[in-house]
Amino acid sequence: MLPNSQIRHPNFITRIRNLERMREISEVAVRHGFGYFFERHRLFGLIPGWRRRSQAPPVQRGRHIREMLEELGPTFVKFGQLLSTRPDIVPADIVMELVKLQDRVKPFPFDVARQVIEADLGISLARAFESFDPEPLASASIGQVHGAVLPGGEHVIVKVQRPGAGRQIHKDIELLMQFAELAEGRLEAGFSPVSVVREFGRSINRELDYVLEARNAERFGLNFQYVDNVSIPRVYWRYCTTRVLTLERLVGPTLNNPSIPGLSLSERKGLAETIADCWFKQVFQDGFFHADPHPANIVYLGEGRIGLLDFGLAGFLRREDLEGGVRLFLHVMDSDIPGIKRSLKRSGVHWNPSADELVSQTIEEAFSRYFGRSLSNIDVSALLHQAFDIVYSLRLRLPTRFLLLDKALLTMDGVVSSLYPDLDVFELARRYTADLKRERLDPRAISDRFKRSVAEYVEVLRDYPLQFHDLLEEMRAGELEIKYRHTGLENVIHRLDVIMNRLVVALVSIALGASSTAVGILVEGGPHVAGLSVWGLPGFAGSLFFGAWLIWAIIRSGRL
């Protein structure tokens, strides 16, 4: 497992060690048609062995990026999967390709899995399990899953982490961080590459901790303990560590099984309703949801019942988020554009004041169809998608929890549509939104919101004197710093750097030439060639080298 302290900027030794790997990655990128990217963002001079070459962007850039990540290996595949959940920073055509990335790798030998299990559990495999299937049921970059039977006869699945997975992922994250640092300030994309890599590090760090996944499974089990048509596998804590996870085995086909389309129409309708109701309960009632509801993670148990698998990726929503969603719906129905903007800002969506008019115009165009309608007549699905589309079209940043929510609801909607296309998925959601609306008007809820607001204002007012005191102290000590951010000057600064560097090289070349000439003429002792002292020759050679290098650099840049 990667501790958070290890998600950091690579040190000097690590940078040197990564140079060869960076060269390999740049070659893969060029082979897939992305050499232009390094030139456009001035990264070609920062990668060893790079030769500048003219290259047009690939026509199908999304497909080429996906294929490039697949070639680079499992960590890069997972990084691409993270980017597929960030339509606020990644163009739609690339997102459509990144969602196709599959985390499939060759399984590691059974003997290795045995060693991991025995080392972590502290007992032999024969004593821990009555039987253990040596053939894995599934394999991925972090671990693989085996079927087994416990001494009491319970059928379980055992998830075993690949040996050295954490160490390899750590190295790859350091490499990605090094690339991100090179791109920071050069990549004009409206987001911070370093922040994206940090987010990836935290995300994959959670996946490496199987104890965290077990806790997620247990929490889902408590949330669904009184729901008859949804089963959550039991966690066997005695057989769980950070690298070994043991859960109850749910018997049935997953929804990607070829037998599922053969179910009767009524069975598929009941199954679709169960899935939709399951996720709406998680989102609107529990505030804790399974963030990866693709077909392989849902088991069909018969008679409209389902079971959930793989709890490594879970999202959460605060009570304030749900209340904010209800406020957003009400503002839409009241045609209250300032209210809609306030709701978006309270949810963590921010924009520059200069873009305020554009945001207002986009909101009015997108939500005008819902103005004046009642909650019962609003298509919640379309409204949510419209809100996310506004954020993505304006390239606004969303908190991660909302990105996971969007991904989960879109995936769930696709699964349900494939089972029963005519099901009005979000008709089921209306009762949850209606419950939220009633709860919002409940006197106890109003009192709780009032107490929270008062507490927040009191906290802010209490901090103001301390903040003002700190400001005065910094001014008195002469330590007050004012930071500013310029835009549009990066190319000018880069050109000035190039000019200054060439000027320094020219001066060094001239100085070497002049000093070596003086040495060659004035030194009388020692060997001479053509009347000049040989002690002046090294200076001549250095002067010629730097002069030739400078001329070659100018010619290569195309700026004579």
Helix (H, G, I), strand (E, B) or coil at 8: coil
Closest CA to 214 of 191, 239, 197: 239
- The residues, any chain, with a CB within 8 Å of residue 192's CB and separated by 6 or more, are 184
- Rounded to whole angstroms, what are the CA distances from 557 to 187, 314, 499? 20, 50, 12
Residues present in the chain in total: 560
Secondary structure (DSSP) of 340-374: HHHHHHHTT-B--GGGHHHHHHHHHHHHGGGTT--
Beta carbons within 10 angstroms of residue 92's beta carbon: 11
| Direct distance between the N- and C-terminal alpha carbons of the chain, in angstroms, rounded to an integer | 54
Closest CA to 146 of 231, 255, 239: 239
Listed in order, strand segments (DSSP E) in 309-464 are 314-316
**Relative orientation angle of helices 193-208 and 165-183, to the nearest 10 degrees:** 170
Which tokens in the block code for residue 228?
């008859």
CB 219, CB 288: distance < 8 Å: yes
- The residues, any chain, with a CB within 8 Å of residue 481's CB and separated by 6 or more, are 474
Please identify which residue in the block is written with the tokens 């819902």: 370
What stretch of H or E contains 221?
A: helix 210-223
Beta bridge partners, 397, equal: 350
**Cα–Cα dist 394/285, whole Å:** 30
**Active-site annotation holder among 209, 292, 310, 321:** 292
**Cα–Cα dist 202/379, whole Å:** 35
Is 88 a known active-site residue? no
CB 234, CB 248: distance < 8 Å: yes
- Rounded to whole angstroms, what are the CA distances from 84 to 92, 262, 391? 9, 31, 16
**Cα–Cα dist 320/251, whole Å:** 38
Which tokens in the block code for residue 120?
């972590």
**Cα–Cα dist 89/540, whole Å:** 53
CB 146, CB 139: distance < 8 Å: no
- The residues, any chain, with a CB within 8 Å of residue 133's CB and separated by 6 or more, are 146, 147, 148
Which tokens in the block code for residue 497?
């750097």
**Cα–Cα dist 76/98, whole Å:** 11
**Cα–Cα dist 368/337, whole Å:** 10
Which tokens in the block code for residue 376?
């019962």
What stretch of H or E contains 508?
A: helix 490-522
| Residues annotated as catalytic (active site), given as ranges | 292
